[in-house]
Chain A
Amino acid sequence: MSTATATQTPVFSVSGLWKVFGPKPERIPADPELGALDPADLRARTGCTAAVRDVSFDVRKGEVFVVMGLSGSGKSTLVRCLTRLIEPTAGTIAIDGEDVRAMDKARLRELRRHRAAMVFQHFGLLPHRSVIDNVAYGLEIQGIGKAERRERAAEVVDKVGLAGMEHRRPAQLSGGQRQRVGLARALAVDPEVLLFDEPFSALDPLIRRDMQDEVARLHREEGRTMVFITHDLTEALKLGDRIALMRDGKVVQLGTPEEIVGSPADDYVREFVRDVPREQVMTARTAMRPAAPGEAAEGPAIAPEATVSEAIEAVARSGEPARVMAEGKCLGVVDHERLLGVVAGVAADTPAADTTDAVVAAGGRTAEATPVPQPAAPGKHRQATPPAPRTSPEDV
């Protein structure tokens, strides 16, 4: 499976992407000296703001790709560049290998109508239309007849759990319900990839969690590719198969949640993930060490994808090291020392032989060795809803 996805064309392939706001923006990406300036200097020198700076990444088919950063880090601009709601300044974007920046108007409309649908932070619903007509709106734009589009919309309305509210207006719905409408509208056109722009940050915490579960469920059921923008680390860790962490328009680290938490690329990321309960993100695969002779035969067995917190439980119950087993083979063992080391964040110095601590620096690609989580798979039993980090991203 993982080899299969690796050879497939990525859904989105972005490389060297720039978005600069201000007068004569083209000169900034073209001039390496200007491009290297920090935001304040750049603004002082040129009057321009670089919202996205030389960003490259691939979104693979079926994964949830999270772009995470604080407000002003350029993540929302980035997602809008993907379908050219904001025109990029430089770089290339390809969807299924097709150059998005070279598309003419009609082709671009086609892309927006059928291939990528977006869910917005403030929903962007049409207040004068009922729920069903809002959901059917994308189909209406495509020119689909009323009866058919209503029928298809009704199915999607059911799917997102809004049955019975078809004829309400957005104003009569709660925030969570409105975002379900926004989600249904995007789903109704059956897009290849769903783009989420901070979809849940306007919602109350409890409803936010419901909606996150909803998205996780949809992803589990349909395996649709998703690009998810958020400023909430918890949300990113919970939903993301891979996370790109942005700061000042640049990607400072790109990797699985475990890589981000376990091997922060720099002090910024480290500070960011400091309060994350590591035992709920890190897996036994990271924590294990090679089995000493004799150890491979006995002790409780756990899967390599099991979280450290599950491993701790297993070790605590049995009182002896647990074996990390995959397909009947023992990959290694975790003992209380290793587990405590992971929780304390001091274990990274002696990684086990075959773990993949492929830490990727700014803008780089992940090493091919990074395990690609299967759509429905391991990430999801990190049921982690860790308590919110003490330094909540918004007030940093």
Chain B
Amino acid sequence: MATLSVPTSARTAKPRVLKSRAAGKLLLLALVAAVLAPWAATRWPGAAWPHELTVSLAKPLASASNWIIDNRDSHPLFLYFFGYVSNAVVLCVRAVYLTLLAAGWTGVTALGALVAWRVAGARLAAGTAIALLTCGALGMWVPTMQTLALMVVAVLASVAVGALLGLAAGLSDRLDRALRPVLDTMQVLPAFAYLLPVVLVFGIGVPAAVLATVVYAAPPMARLTALGLRGADPEVLEAVESLGATRRQRLLTARIPLARGELLLGLNQTIMMALSMAVIASVIGAGGLGDRVYQALASVDVGQALAAGIPIVLLAIVLDRVTGAAGSAKPAGTGQTPSRTVGWPYALAVTVAVALVTRLLGRLDWPSGLTLDIAEPVDHAVDWMTGHLYSGVPVVGGTADWAGHFTTWALDPVRSGLQWLPWWSVLLIVAALAWSIGTWRSASTAVLAMAAIGVLGVWGPALDTLSQVLAAVAVTLVLGFATGIAAARSDRVERALRPVLDVFQTMPQFVYLIPVVALFGVGRAPAVAAAVVYALPAVVRITTQGLRQVDPAALESARSLGATGRQQLWQVQLPLARRSLLLALNQGVVLVLAVVIIGGLVGGGALGYNVAFGLAQGDLATGLVAGAAIVCLGLMLDRVTQPTERRAKKGA
């Protein structure tokens, strides 16, 4: 009897302890607030971050950037290190670019199709060929090749760096512990934040673009390599050890082959991230397709932007599908293996032959007669839209009206509300949110990050960005959860959604700006719209998966008790999928932030605009401060929405 009573009392005590702990956290926070807030409020009155607490980095940063510019050609660090790196990058990109041009459009198309055929089969080969030919037909052959050249170099470097880091982290526990938080954090930062430090060192140009791409694209490779090496079936490794394998043999014959799936997934993710970044890096001189989009957007020329945007989307889809197919293809029976290995020389031979023939015929360049100018018809269509859909459509109103209303009724109130809040209360809210969802550690990181924004002196713009993020996240979650629930409850909806989500999830962030500019013009509302569209697929997908993974036995027992569909949803599915829903929130926030920042390019203002402005005007100090603030904001938002369990289960 005594033995029985102990566990029961422990069990009943636990929730009380938990509850009191959550309440305790908030109580403690309230106490601190009660002491500090009046003091802070009297000492630094006003809602905005007090001026006395800022540290102006403009001067030191400007002088640093000036020093770098002055010494770029003389200081040994640049002469003997960065100079070489930069030259090597330029040389590599140039070499690949010239090779691609030398192969001609037929050669590249043949190569692409053959590679796709070997890796992923005939259907994708045809798709690849059509995609490449479309790029040419849109008059974008040369920019496409520029982007490809940059991508090839960046992906190779990212894979090399990522695989090495991942190998190290996979083999050493200490390195893994050191690297993991860094990689996790890098993964949540908006792409825009990576641009400025690289520009500071390398100046605007191809080297900076490639290196920014590498820094952005290497982490997934590193993470997945480490994950794959660590995730190997322990019993297989034990069996291998029991046969007397040396460490090297174990690595080469077991661990690396067993990690094949993760390695290929890492390659896939790295390629997709590299493409996304290579397009954004047009802002710092990457050239190619992204540059065309950037230029076109700068002059709100939707037709041109679309002509360059379509090849980006096609490239993204093709690259994703082909590398994805390579990853998911299980190593089949040996019957197929020889033909696979035999196929490659043939493929290469065909490519060379095709390239040579075109060269001899003198038709290396894309034939000008085959170019299809879509810019003009698109512009017409946009003009028509501007004329007819922008405003004054009976009953529903126009798109510009919607954007205007959204700005007036949603964005403005949120922004002024945030700016009306005293700065210390913002910090308190951040602390309370982060602490109640996560640990004191994530809470303190979040508060420190938020405070750093104030110290950097960009409190105002950061709150502006934050207001856009909040509005976009709210819209995303409402739409995403609704769609996710619908897809989880109906197979038909899920089947219909899947291809759409697949396509949307592969598109680089930058591309989303084109349609929203066409629909809504420029301003904060289009930036928010682009962010919603970008974040929606991930939220929908995670929600659907989370709901579908709910233990069927739990659902069945609820059904057997006679629960209605609504009761099942609210009382079983949603509570059990809580972790997935939180993850969806977290992902949604991270993705929304990335695009809201880029929205600075289409009139979103705030931090993103500061970065773009800094780059455009050569005012690196402004840009860098904004970039740092973006990093802080990203950290803060991630930590505030990061449930404690996530660290443990974060895998793919």
Contacts and interface: CB of A to CB of B under 8 A. Distances in A.
Interface of A: 80, 83, 85, 108-114, 117-118, 120-130, 137-138, 140-142, 167-169, 171-172, 182, 185, 189, 195
Contacts of B243: 112-113, 117, 137-138, 141, 185, 189
Nearest to A111: B244
A66 to B, nearest CB: 19
A124 B257 contact: no
Nearest to B256: A128
A127 B260 CA distance: 11
Contacts of B235: 120-124
Contacts of A113: 243-244
A312 B171 CA distance: 63
B246 A109 contact: yes
A168 B333 CA distance: 6
B327 to A, nearest CB: 14
A137 B253 contact: yes
Given A140-B253, A167-B335, A118 B239 contact: yes
B71 interface: no
B260 A120 contact: no
B331 A112 contact: no
Interface residues of B, number: 24
B11 to A, nearest CB: 19
B239 A130 contact: no
B242 interface: yes
A141 B242 contact: no
B250 to A, nearest CB: 9
A113 B257 CA distance: 22
A129 B254 CA distance: 10
Nearest to B257: A128
Given A122-B235, A167-B333, A85 B242 contact: yes
A148 B240 CA distance: 20
B241 interface: yes
27 contacts: A108-B244, A109-B244, A110-B244, A111-B244, A112-B242, A112-B244, A114-B244, A118-B239, A121-B235, A123-B239, A124-B233, A124-B240, A125-B236, A125-B239, A128-B257, A128-B258, A130-B334, A137-B240, A140-B253, A141-B240, A141-B244, A141-B246, A167-B333, A167-B334, A167-B335, A168-B333, A169-B331
A145 B402 CA distance: 74
B330 interface: yes
A191 to B, nearest CB: 10
A296 to B, nearest CB: 54
- Name the 10 nearest CB pairs between A and B, nearest first: A124-B239, A113-B244, A112-B244, A138-B243, A109-B244, A118-B242, A124-B235, A128-B257, A124-B236, A167-B334
Nearest to B243: A138
A126 B253 contact: yes
Contact of A171 (B240, B330, B334, B335): B330
A126 B244 contact: no
A126 B335 CA distance: 18
Contacts of A128: 257-258, 260, 331
B66 to A, nearest CB: 56
B238 interface: yes
Contacts of B246: 109, 141
A338 B336 CA distance: 67
A83 B239 CA distance: 12
A172 B254 contact: no
Among B239, B249, B254, the most chain A Cβ lie within 10 Å of the Cβ of B239
Interface string B328-370: 0011111100000000000000000000000000000000000
